[in-house]
Amino acid sequence: MPRLLKLVQRSALVLTGVSIGAALWKARSGATASTEASPFNESVAGLEARLAALEAAGISIAAENGKSAGHSVETVAAIASLEATIASLTTRYDSRLSSLETSVGDHEAKLKELPTLAQVVNTMEEMLSNTMSGLDQKLSEQVRSIEVLKTTVSQSDELMERVLDSIYSLQSHVSENDKSEVPVSV
């Protein structure tokens, strides 16, 4: 009978370890690879260490004295408590993970709505090109206006010179005519 009890106890410990390992594997398989120590990871590591200590203590006690029924009940209760704690932590972790996934999805959608760098650069190049062509056009108009003003000033100068020449020539004719007339007295 003690041999059967030992076998049942060891089988229970192995099955418990397998179920905890499966739960941990399931929880970790959905998670991203993170090297940071999160509170969840620390809790799981602590629970794994306590479980390993309990298993080692349970196996060594069973191997030494056949382990009485009272010790086996305490070990099973401790393992059940650990399983419940791991289950609650897994649930909390899953809910937090889904919350983070939702948040990341929202941020990703917002980022997709923003224009890409290439689009921004193309828009800026287009605006710069339009501005430069407008500026070039205005400068060309200014150059034409300056040329017209130069031509006008040059023509005005020529006309002024002609007018002045005409005035000087008229003035010289008038002064010659004034000298040729002699006043006659009667």
List pLDDT tens digits, range 123-174: 999 999 999 999 999 999 999 999 999 999 999 999 999 999 999 988 888 7
pLDDT at 69 over 60: no
Report how far residue 20's alpha carbon sits from residue 81's, in angstroms, rounded to the nearest whole number: 12
Stated pTM of the model:
0.34
Report how far residue 45's alpha carbon sits from residue 20's, in angstroms, rounded to the nearest whole number: 12
3-state SS, one letter per residue, for the chain: CHHHHHHHHHHHHHHHHHHHHHHHHHHHHCCCCCCCCCHHHHHHHHHHHHHHHHHHHHHHHHHHHCCCHHHHHHHHHHHHHHHHHHHHHHHHHHHHHHHHHHHHHHHHHHHHHCCCHHHHHHHHHHHHHHHHHHHHHHHHHHHHHHHHHHHHHHHHHHHHHHHHHHHHHHHHHHHHHHHHCCCCCC
Q: Return phi, psi of residue 168, to 5°.
A: -65, -40
List pLDDT tens digits, range 73-114: 787 888 888 888 888 888 999 999 999 999 999 999 998 888
Please report the pLDDT score of residue 114 as a whole number: 87
List pLDDT tens digits, range 19-52: 777 777 777 766 544 545 577 777 777 778 887 7
CB 72 within 8 A of CB 2: no
pLDDT tier, 60 (very low <50, low <70, confident <90, very high otherwise): low
